[in-house]
């Protein structure tokens, strides 16, 4: 059934069905594509779709009992569509199952570059990468030397935003939920500073310590108390990109609202929501920009790879307690 809005997802929300049979060819009369799934992506938005909230986001809610859909990487086994042929590698919306018949082909993209790990098309070269790239460069409109703060900074999106900001010559601080993640931010991703928000009893004080002169850009992945504290620390004409609000997806934690919104007005701050899907038409521009960074080692990408379809539920559930270190992927088959 649908998840009540007042609790986190748990593994038993998922049922593994070993009965379903699928013919390994596209049926007559369909112009779809039959794929073997190789990697599945765990993304926080999927939790929103597990609730009975029709059309609340870019997608509609899942139907209880049906196969979970989400981003993934797959290999085409059979195709009745002229744009795809047997052997093509693709990324896009697929199912949490070994094989999927995909008929919404506008949500499927051919993979042209295979000199990078295929799983990257669930992360840095897929939807989270697009989110970080356009969310930072377009929505935040950064300038060299500006002070940038990123929350959930070790995640699929956050680790990239911080590195894009460093490449722009900004001063970058990230927050994350463990000491291990703080070390990654400082020593692997090149953030200037980082703190563990779970160990700070006063978030305002932590931000003042890291940004004595205030924050120009806040890339918000969490909302809630952190957003409220950042509002107090924004500089004049700052920008806040509302990427996500994971604290609000589980309403158990929505105990304190945002109190400091008037600071937007006092300081003429621009706070703007955005959706990765708006930027899909610019995917090739994005690839041109990001692929060289990967090949030249200017950007690194950390993934947390669970093995096997049976481990997909626990991998997904882990997103909401911060179990994942980096982009959560599920590897389910070899190419
Ligand atoms: P992540 O890889 O960052 O995984 C989620 C992380 O959120 C966890 O690892 C955990 O890290 C942190 N987290 C979980 N619960 C809480 C909490 N209660 N308070 C603070 N932090 C918490 O996910 P993504 O990078 O894929 O997504 C990041 C955000 O961006 C999400 O809000 C997501 O919905 C949003 N998003 C929006 C898009 C758009 O189009 N606007 C597209 C893609 C993502 P920690 O250990 O640090 O707590």
pLDDT value, residue 255: 52
Residue 269 alpha carbon to ligand 1 centre in Å: 23
Give the C-alpha separation, 232 to 215, whole Å. Answer: 9
Residue 54 predicted with pLDDT over 80: no
**Could you tell me which residues come within 8 angstroms of residue 177 by beta carbon, excluding any fewer than 6 positions away?**
196, 197, 198, 322
pLDDT band at 69 (very low <50, low <70, confident <90, very high): very high
pLDDT value, residue 317: 96
135 DSSP assignment: I
- For the stretch 43-82, what's the b/e string if a residue is b when 16 or more beta carbons lie within 10 angstroms of its beta carbon? bbbbbbbbbeeeeeeeeebbeeeeebbbbbbbbbbbbebe
Q: Which two tokens stand for residue 207?
A: 């931000």
Residue nearest to atom 7 of ligand 1 (CA): 152
Give the C-alpha separation, 174 to 186, whole Å. Answer: 9
**Could you tell me which residues come within 8 angstroms of residue 181 by beta carbon, excluding any fewer than 6 positions away?**
153, 154, 194, 196, 322, 325
Tokens 């840095």 sit on residue: 124
Locate the ligand 1 atom nearest the alpha carbon of residue 243 and give its number.
Answer: 41
pLDDT value, residue 55: 58
pLDDT digits (tens, 9 = 90+) for 113-123: 999 999 999 99
Q: Which two tokens stand for residue 332?
A: 């389910």
Give the C-alpha separation, 207 to 194, whole Å. Answer: 10
pLDDT band at 296 (very low <50, low <70, confident <90, very high): very high
- Please, are residues 74 and 122 in contact by the beta-carbon 8 Å criterion? no
Q: Where are the alpha helices (DSSP H) in 178-221?
A: 179-187, 203-210
Give the C-alpha separation, 212 to 207, whole Å. Answer: 8
Q: Which two tokens stand for residue 150?
A: 């990123």
How large is the angle between the packed helices 203-210 and 224-232, nearest 10 degrees? 50
Mean pLDDT of 139-144: 97
Residue 265 predicted with pLDDT over 80: no
pLDDT digits (tens, 9 = 90+) for 267-287: 888 989 898 989 999 999 999
- Please, are residues 3 and 13 in contact by the beta-carbon 8 Å criterion? yes
Residue 246 alpha carbon to ligand 1 centre in Å: 5
pLDDT value, residue 116: 97
Instruction: Using only the alpha carbons of the chain, give its radius of gyration.
Output: 20
Give the C-alpha separation, 38 to 252, whole Å. Answer: 34
User: CATH fold of 127-277, please?
Assistant: Rossmann fold (3.40.50)
Same fold, 11-123+302-331 and 127-277: no
Residue 276 alpha carbon to ligand 1 centre in Å: 14
Mean pLDDT of 247-258: 64
pLDDT value, residue 247: 85
Mean pLDDT of 217-234: 94
Tokens 């998922």 sit on residue: 14
pLDDT digits (tens, 9 = 90+) for 192-218: 999 999 999 999 999 999 999 999 999
Q: What does each C-alpha distance from 333 to 8, 296, 309 come to in angstroms?
A: 28, 28, 9
Measured from CB, residues less than 6 Å from any atom of ligand 1 are: 43-45, 128, 131, 152, 155-158, 176-178, 181, 221-222, 243-247, 253, 274-276, 319-320, 322, 324, 327-328
pLDDT value, residue 263: 78
Tokens 């899907």 sit on residue: 277
User: How many Cα atoms sit within 13 Å of 267 on the Cβ side?
Assistant: 23
Residue 320 predicted with pLDDT over 90: yes
Q: Where are the alpha helices (DSSP H) in 244-282?
A: 246-249, 262-266
pLDDT band at 56 (very low <50, low <70, confident <90, very high): low
Phi, psi of 98 (to 5 degrees): -70, -40
Locate the ligand 1 atom nearest the alpha carbon of residue 278 and give its number.
Answer: 40
Residue 251 predicted with pLDDT over 80: no
Give the C-alpha separation, 259 to 229, whole Å. Answer: 9
- Please, are residues 86 and 79 in contact by the beta-carbon 8 Å criterion? yes
Name the average pLDDT for the chain.
93
User: CATH fold of 11-123+302-331, please?
Assistant: Quinone Oxidoreductase; Chain A, domain 1 (3.90.180)
pLDDT band at 57 (very low <50, low <70, confident <90, very high): low
Bridge partners (DSSP) of residue 85 are: none
Residue 148 alpha carbon to ligand 1 centre in Å: 17
Domain ranges for the chain: 11-123+302-331, 127-277
């Amino acid at each position: 059934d649908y998840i009540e809005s007042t609790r986190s997802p748990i593994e038993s929300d998922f049922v593994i069905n070993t009965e379903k049979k699928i013919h390994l060819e596209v049926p007559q009369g369909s112009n779809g594509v039959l794929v073997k799934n190789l990697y599945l992506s765990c993304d926080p938005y999927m939790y929103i779709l597990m609730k009975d909230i029709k059309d609340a986001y870019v997608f509609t809610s899942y139907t209880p009992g049906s196969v979970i859909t989400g981003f993934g990487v797959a290999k085409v086994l059979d195709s009745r569509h002229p744009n795809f042929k047997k052997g093509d590698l693709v990324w896009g919306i697929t199912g949490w199952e070994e094989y999927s018949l995909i008929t919404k082909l506008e949500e499927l993209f051919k993979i042209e570059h295979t000199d990078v790990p295929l799983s990257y098309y669930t992360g840095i070269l897929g939807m989270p990468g697009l989110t970080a790239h356009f969310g930072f460069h377009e929505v935040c409109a950064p300038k060299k030397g500006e002070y940038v703060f990123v929350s959930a900074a070790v995640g699929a999106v956050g680790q990239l935003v911080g590195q894009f900001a460093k490449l722009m010559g900004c001063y970058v601080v990230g927050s994350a939920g463990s000491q291990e993640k703080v070390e990654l931010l400082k020593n692997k991703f090149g953030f200037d500073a980082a703190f563990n928000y779970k160990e700070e009893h006063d978030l305002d004080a932590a931000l003042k310590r890291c940004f004595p002169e205030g924050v120009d850009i806040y890339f918000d992945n969490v909302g809630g108390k952190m957003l409220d504290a950042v509002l107090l620390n924004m500089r004049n004409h700052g920008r806040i990109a509302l990427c996500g609000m994971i604290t609000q997806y589980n309403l158990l934690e929505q105990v304190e609202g945002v109190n400091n919104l008037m600071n937007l007005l006092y300081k003429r701050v621009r706070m703007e929501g955005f959706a990765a899907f708006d930027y899909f038409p610019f995917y090739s521009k994005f690839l041109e920009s990001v692929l060289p960074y990967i090949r030249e080692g200017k950007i690194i990408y950390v993934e947390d790879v669970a093995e096997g379809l049976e481990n997909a539920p626990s991998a997904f559930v882990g997103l909401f307690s911060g179990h994942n270190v980096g982009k959560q992927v599920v590897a389910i088959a070899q190419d």
